[in-house]
Structure 1
């Protein structure tokens, strides 16, 4: 159903690869997110929460470097552990705190001189502008739905993104006590589509801002396009909402592997929330960014 549409959309959809490290550990956590280009001028859209992570990466690391600098001053103190606890509190560091994030824009542009972010004031939407690059590495660009009245309950649509990080081109550098990208290991990650039907349209202040889908947007698909069988863009995957179904089971006795046991279950329906196409186009117009419609 979406074979040709995916082939049409894929050339302008790109993964954002991320590696993270938490305080006190050397384990590297890989993750993905998605963006798609809206014109031939190096302009892409993604989720605001994705763009904020990209923009805040340096501040997060600078905070950790500040902690390291102060910690070195007290390493010979008799009450070092007490000083360490005070510094951890000062810099907001816990075992689960992310202290380092590094990103790669895959096959987007060649050697960008600058990356500029524009954040939508109310919706989970952002624009990434690549400036001063040698050439674009994506081909074609999004074509948006012109008449959004076509977005109705039951409309069959698809999303594309990169929810399963399979890239392995990174390592922990023990000498530098830091994580880094390498030239070894798998450098790409697979695309993954997911289909569904429109279940509801969500409005805020009298304006439709989101398209709800019957299936979840998977982790890593944030920022990926929502499109029809012709590859026309209807929106952008944002978040997944968890709707409590009310079919709760508490301490029900069942037989599992031949043994009686009590189980509880609180089921939820996971639905995908996508930024509406009109919101995206309006934001692009406000920024003076060129885009295309069907």
Structure 2
């Protein structure tokens, strides 16, 4: 049996300005906007932890220090809660062992590929995961046990343990929507795994090789960093991660994992509202009330 290096590190690109959510994001990072009662970044971090990832690398920009503070110990808050007999376990998911949260700065917004390249020294020579917090991924109940089922990254890590190499998560979308995403050229399929023979960023509908879009989760080998060093610009004049990954096809195994779950595009206002409503409806403590409220509003 082939021994593969485990996926211990995850990169979270969180340097974006969040202009689509202004004025809410003037002083608050969009990654801290709440879906029900947890900030968006918390869902991605919890997903990474579920997959066995130990070290979280945040690629930040100016004004994003509150993201790191969210995962720090809040002494005054915890002391006050303790004095009042409040349960502190609600904060468990925000606590980390010292050294397990690392931040690097992306000083200039040159694209997703550039943001990932900024983490090259911390990633080192290990395979690593990438999670885009704007993409809220909720596993179907049939994908595992617990609320929402098995998360996307855990599904990917399980696939990685079988095939190694590079992996992306994919979902099928209506053909007319493909020009908004990275799209794969599919090869042979086996279960949820599909061989990736090509990648193209935001193709015109008539030129798209499939309707399988890359959905914000990646497991990549460290060689991608050397590919990104060229700083070559692609679609939109930015350094595209998709272009760097495409150059690795044929040199290393490359597969897509069809995610057994739902994706919410929380980079858009409507997607953010949809995620909030969908997750609230599934909550035992509030689902019925929210359902009744929705009926009143729609009535």
TM-score scaled by structure 2?
Answer: 0.26
Higher helix share: 2
Higher strand share: 1
TM-score scaled by structure 1?
Answer: 0.26
